[in-house]
A = this chain, B = another copy of it.
Amino acid sequence: MNAHIITIGDEIIIGQTLNTNAAFIGNALIEAEIDVKKTSVVGDNEADILNEFKECWEKGDLVVVTGGLGPTHDDITLNCIVKFFDTELVQDDDVLEDVKRIFERRGREMTKLNESQALVPKIGTPIRNRIGTAPGVWIEKDNKIFISMPGVPFEMQDMMEYFIIPTLKSKVKNTGFITRRIILQTTGIPESFLFERLGDMDELLEGSKMAFLPSQFGVKLRITSTGANEEEALNKLSEIEQKIRNKAGRYVFAKGEELLENVVSRLLKERGLTIALAESCTGGNISNLLTNISGSSEYFERGVISYSNGSKVEMLKVDEDALTQYGAVSLEVAMQMAEGIRRISGTELGLSVTGILGPKGATTGKPVGLVFIGISDDKVCTAKKFLFGDDRMLNKQRATQAALEVLRRHLLGINLDD
């Protein structure tokens, strides 16, 4: 089955909103063994929408559309569907009940505008929206499938998960071979160095495929293998994974899409360890990521964002002399911050960051991008120096990722130096 994904909305075309919906749908279809040939975005313009419907409907077996189903005047997808399939809108009583129920639950009065959400194209079947008011539509014609969903991410995602993906899976034909993918995530090594370290690609891959996906968080490796059955494909992947781990294992922090903060949170939970953070330049970003995870209160005790020198002395017991002698951005102060927050909080671990993110703040011998990360437990207290680039936001993200990696390596007993 060959799929085309269409996202509708000026806000995407003109770059005001990122197309997270196409990413979600693409991922879900690929997981269901449906080949996504193309994703496209068109604005809230009838001619452009109809043109894109036509192109995709001709070429694909499956067209998945998202966006433009809301209650306001700029939502025109439903009318385009009516024109494209030469059908009409009819009221669906179940959908009307759903909409009414949502307004009751919210304790709000329903308007005429909201009532119109119960109109669905006669040719299709409504897909009930369990979160919001706009239903989706499922249309089958000429052995092809056309699906339209609202653009609100959570509503679309719920429809995909409870109805669309299970239904599509039951319709996908077995092609006689199976494709499987794995992701290995690395950090702390640049793309070209990793490439060289992995050596001859043909020898490594033996017919499988691998992509290098670099970002400020590290380089992801996506490996794709095909086999006569699932076992064969997975065996190929596992062989390649082993070869990569032999050559660059210390840099691999996760298999799959698990974020580095989830990896270290899992390690902390498994070992029953608690941690406290002392952040200066990262401004709370590390604590923020560590507390994104449900149950984080099991291991995260507290954090201090010691932006001013005064707060470093008062809250972390950093030595005023050290601040004067070495400066706030120094190996010594990073170590004292890590040690200080650990002692004050009574946790097993203390993690600290101090640095100059830029564009301002550089001094003689201390350029923008200079960052020290400290870590402390009851046996050791150490810190590591990093030199990132010129961009403030990139530096914040790289310092955050580096601090989490320092923590990971500490927990696993991997040397901090490359």
Binding site for B on A (CB under 8 A): 10-20, 22-28, 30, 36-44, 48, 52, 55, 70-74, 111, 113-114, 152, 154, 183, 191-192, 195-196, 201, 209-215, 220, 222, 257, 277, 279, 281-288, 290-292, 294-297, 300-308, 310-311, 314-315, 344-345, 358-360, 391-394, 396
Contact = CB atoms under 8 A, between A and B. Distances in A.
B41 A13 contact: no
Contact of A15 (B23, B71, B220, B304): B23
Contact of A111 (B192, B287, B300, B303): B192
A277 B305 contact: yes
A44 B36 CA distance: 12
Most-contacted residue by chain B among A15, A72, A308, A396 (CB, 10 A): A15
Contact of A292 (B22, B295, B396): B396
A364 to B, nearest CB: 19
Contact of A308 (B17, B210, B301, B305): B301
Given A154-B391, A195-B113, A27 B14 contact: yes
Given A14-B36, A74-B210, 9 more contacts: A13-B30, A14-B26, A15-B24, A15-B25, A19-B23, A113-B196, A279-B284, A283-B303, A300-B307
B315 A308 contact: no
Given A211-B44, A288-B284, A301-B308, A26 B30 contact: no
A393 B282 CA distance: 20
